[in-house]
A = this chain, B = another copy of it.
């Protein structure tokens, strides 16, 4: 036991009336909600990077956090791992996620970085065994080091492509070794700062090629987890190629990978792309590429990827409603890609931020499940489109032509009368479950 969280108890469920900061008021892991325990619906994961690797800097200021593991040594990395798994257990999160760069010191060479990673992976394997905490997904950090400043797969320099591919291999190997359930690709530098120096056609081919190599390696190794792309429109890059779910879908179709790859959807990235979180979730479901979620909360107004801990239960309810309509998670889960505000310096802040986020998710899930079970919202939706299930609708979708439509409208003097969309009434209905 380290003493980082000294005095902080393991968090347990005490119910809505508890006024204990260090307790869950909604998240009751074993409580059954529509057929399975909440923990199996939510499949919470903590993110190594924000909680243990980020030091509190922002564009106008440096480190604010003062953590004993902030140095680029293996000893520090081990201490960090100890503290991380202590947090996972305090919170009772069943999963965690990591990038290579979060967990091991950068080596002087690729070989050394790889060796460092392997050592930490061995330590993780022991901790996983000891604690039962599992790996939701692994990923490669191909954006922080200056070698990636102009892209990883989409770099103008083929050496960077090769370096990135090699790095991905080490991270997929680590993920496989640790029994990870997914492997994630987020292309933070896959995009451009200015079109003036960018060959978008080439870069698109490079990105497609890298993804194919990843899929090939998955099959070769027999990895059973999902390969997930995490869309984001911008930040750090001015334009990122994986802009949003619809863009990723077009890319997958272009390279014939739509059955091989799914998406990891982040609330904040949805917002930055001009969408709601629930839009991205619903679209992924309809396109058959829904995989997992990065739960957080984005400032609507700043344009920055704020990665705040989520707390708005009505909004989260709409998100989990779409997750439930998608059939829930299979390999995916709820990863807190969320970081403390840089003024939240204390170990207690780190725990409480997760407690609040987990509780808000649980409250949202319960409301969503009740709404779905109750069936009123779905009944209203079905009724609105009922005409399409009738013969005329089916004919339009299968047999009609512009000419037959023209003939019918003319013959029957069709003049459609609009009927109410009932938005406010449905919004009131949703509020009833909160």
Q: How many copies does the complex hold?
A: 4
Q: Within the complex, which residue of B63, B409, B434 is in contact with A166, where a contact is CB–CB below 8 Å?
A: B409
Q: Shortest Cβ distance from A90 into chain B, in angstroms?
A: 15
How far, in whole Å, are A400 and B159 apart by their CA atoms in the complex?
Answer: 12
Given the known A-B contacts A250-B247, A314-B312, A396-B162, are A301 and B300 also in contact in the complex, defined by CB atoms under 8 Å?
A: yes
A283-322 Cβ-contact flags toward B at 8 Å (1 or 0): 1001100000000000111111100010111110010001
A202-234 Cβ-contact flags toward B at 8 Å (1 or 0): 101110010001101100100000000000011
How far, in whole Å, are A279 and B253 apart by their CA atoms in the complex?
Answer: 21
Instruction: Please name all residues of chain B whose beta carbon is closer than 8 Å to the beta carbon of A235 when the two chains form the complex.
Output: 59-60, 302, 304
Asked if B314 contacts A313 (CB within 8 A), the reply is: yes
Asked if A300 contacts B302 (CB within 8 A), the reply is: no
Asked if B217 contacts A403 (CB within 8 A), the reply is: yes
Q: Shortest Cβ distance from A42 into chain B, in angstroms?
A: 17
A346-370 Cβ-contact flags toward B at 8 Å (1 or 0): 1011001101100110000000000
Instruction: Please name all residues of chain B whose beta carbon is closer than 8 Å to the beta carbon of A58 when the two chains form the complex.
Output: 59, 236
Answer whether residue A13 sits at the interface, using C-beta atoms and an 8 A cutoff. no
User: Which of A120-128, A129-137, A268-276 lies at the interface?
Assistant: A268-276
Give how many A residues have a beta carbon under 8 Å from the other chain's beta carbons: 158
Given the known A-B contacts A165-B405, A169-B402, A388-B158, are A302 and B238 also in contact in the complex, defined by CB atoms under 8 Å?
A: yes
Q: Within the complex, which residue of B209, B236, B278 is in contact with A195, where a contact is CB–CB below 8 Å?
A: B278
Q: Shortest Cβ distance from A266 into chain B, in angstroms?
A: 14
How far, in whole Å, are A361 and B217 apart by their CA atoms in the complex?
Answer: 50
Answer whether residue A177 sits at the interface, using C-beta atoms and an 8 A cutoff. no
Asked if A352 contacts B428 (CB within 8 A), the reply is: yes
Instruction: Please name all residues of chain B whose beta carbon is closer than 8 Å to the beta carbon of A157 when the two chains form the complex.
Output: 387, 416, 418-419
User: Which of A32-40, A73-81, A142-150 lies at the interface?
Assistant: A142-150
Given the known A-B contacts A172-B402, A380-B197, are A110 and B410 also in contact in the complex, defined by CB atoms under 8 Å?
A: yes
- What is the chain B residue whose CB lies nearest that of A394? B158
How far, in whole Å, are A377 and B355 apart by their CA atoms in the complex?
Answer: 18
Asked if B402 contacts A165 (CB within 8 A), the reply is: yes
- What is the chain B residue whose CB lies nearest that of A346? B420
Asked if B356 contacts A424 (CB within 8 A), the reply is: yes
Asked if B300 contacts A303 (CB within 8 A), the reply is: no
Answer whether residue A401 sits at the interface, using C-beta atoms and an 8 A cutoff. yes
Asked if A409 contacts B162 (CB within 8 A), the reply is: yes
Given the known A-B contacts A286-B204, A304-B303, are A345 and B419 also in contact in the complex, defined by CB atoms under 8 Å?
A: yes
How far, in whole Å, are A415 and B162 apart by their CA atoms in the complex?
Answer: 10
Answer whether residue A168 sits at the interface, using C-beta atoms and an 8 A cutoff. yes
Q: Within the complex, which residue of B144, B250, B430 is in contact with A250, where a contact is CB–CB below 8 Å?
A: B250
Q: Within the complex, which residue of B56, B415, B424 is in contact with A344, where a contact is CB–CB below 8 Å?
A: B424
Answer whether residue A199 sits at the interface, using C-beta atoms and an 8 A cutoff. yes
Asked if A421 contacts B343 (CB within 8 A), the reply is: yes
Answer whether residue A92 sits at the interface, using C-beta atoms and an 8 A cutoff. no
How far, in whole Å, are A273 and B206 apart by their CA atoms in the complex?
Answer: 25
Given the known A-B contacts A197-B380, A206-B397, A426-B194, are A159 and B431 also in contact in the complex, defined by CB atoms under 8 Å?
A: no
Asked if B428 contacts A355 (CB within 8 A), the reply is: yes
Asked if B25 contacts A432 (CB within 8 A), the reply is: yes
How far, in whole Å, are A426 and B301 apart by their CA atoms in the complex?
Answer: 21
Answer whether residue A2 sits at the interface, using C-beta atoms and an 8 A cutoff. no
How far, in whole Å, are A409 and B111 apart by their CA atoms in the complex?
Answer: 9
* Sample of 5 further A-B pairs with CB below 8 A, known A25-B432, A345-B419: A169-B406, A206-B396, A216-B402, A254-B287, A359-B428
Selected A-B contacts with CB under 8 Å, 6 pairs: A59-B305, A62-B146, A156-B388, A158-B396, A166-B409, A349-B424
- 6 cross-chain pairs, A with B, having the tightest CB-CB distances, nearest first: A303-B303, A250-B250, A343-B421, A165-B405, A300-B300, A356-B428
